[in-house]
Amino acid sequence: MKIGIVCYPTFGGSGVVATELGKALADNGHQVHFITYRQPARLDFFSANLFYHEVSVSNYPLFDYPPYELALASKLVDVVRFEKLDLLHVHYAIPHASAAFMAKQILATYGIHVPVVTTLHGTDITLVGKDPTYKPVVTFSINQSDGVTAVSENLKEDTYKHFDICKDIKVIPNFIDMSRFSLKAKDHFKIAIAPNNERIIIHTSNFRKVKRTQDVIHIFKKIQQEIPSKLLMVGDGPDRVYCEQLCRDLEISENVRFLGKQDAVEEILSVSDLFIMPSESESFGLAALEAMACKVPVITSNAGGLPELNVNGVTGYMDNVGDIDAMAEHSIYILKDDERLAQFKEGALKRAHEFDLGLILPIYEEYYREVIDGS
């Protein structure tokens, strides 16, 4: 198949899923065309089946807001016509689904039909999408898509709850490339971070409000009162500065390292003992799956789709959003005993295998064929 992929080319979960999916499809012999405003992170190598088309938005003094959606729609028309794409797969509804709809209408005037699959990732539904500013367009463009997928049952339910949707939504969970995300021998990292064999706790995110990153700091404060430990905060975003200040206020700065955005996150996960994700809302929790694939148990909130990933008492624990005490207690319980920690590590890894790329890729391929045949 010749597939066009539209996504945010950033470190965000939807961009990571789109890029990894595109790479895997290309490895499987499909021709994959990424159409976005920047070369996606993790797509910095040559592959015969991978193509990148940049959307450039020309500015004009009249525009306070350059019209990206129009530039994207025009680019989609151009790429579909000249590359003869069989299907467009857009990740994150806003504004990709409506740009694809517009492109589809324009292509019809050339007698070209291209089916569109929209994948809902999370905040495009739970936060931004249901805002009245965007809701009518999001509803319309989901209903106009030829295929719609969501990354968890919970996100599917939320979509039906908050929008007037007449389409079937197929759940295809996030996946993990186990050959990349696996335990790496990085003992020298461990010695540098935890010279006295302290436990290493990790959080990775984009430090947005929805991630409740300050909860991570409060949980860690309680853990390190009981267990010698270090905290690694990976990623960057608006709340990082508040987290740094909080560490100073709680006088724990010497045990916390802010590492910023990291390409090889699997190497840092490989030396970690526990991952913390206290999110307010999380449609799936790809970062937690990445941790589990590196044999790291997870303490998460029970928000959104997290119960579809984290198995209480096996891969880690889930607690109510904001319940810092319970999250700290469960962390201490896992970390206190070497044998118990080893058991949770095995549990996390075993569960991660259930989301192996090799299992999920054929589901996407079959769904594409179904949509192409039915449209």
Interacting residues toward ligand GMT by CB under 6 A: 12-15, 17, 92, 121-123, 151, 174, 206, 210, 281-286
Q: Which two tokens stand for residue 116?
A: 């569109």
Token output for 64: 């306070």
Please say whether the beta carbons of 32 and 10 come within 8 A. no
Q: Which is nearer to ligand GMT, 309 or 332 (CB)?
A: 309
Residue 286 and residue 269: Cα distance in Å, rounded? 13
Looking at the Cβ atoms of 219 and 360, the one nearer to ligand GMT is: 360
> Toward ligand GMT, which CB reaches closer, 138 or 332?
138
Task: Kindly state the smallest distance separating residue 180's Cβ from ligand GMT, in Å.
Answer: 16
CB of 185 to ligand GMT, least distance (A): 28
Least Å from the CB of residue 154 to ligand GMT: 10
Give the residue with the Cβ less far from ligand GMT, 206 or 272: 206
Q: Closest CB to ligand GMT among 229 and 281? A: 281
Minimum distance from CB of 243 to ligand GMT (Å)? 16
Q: At closest approach, how far in Å is the CB of 131 from ligand GMT?
A: 15
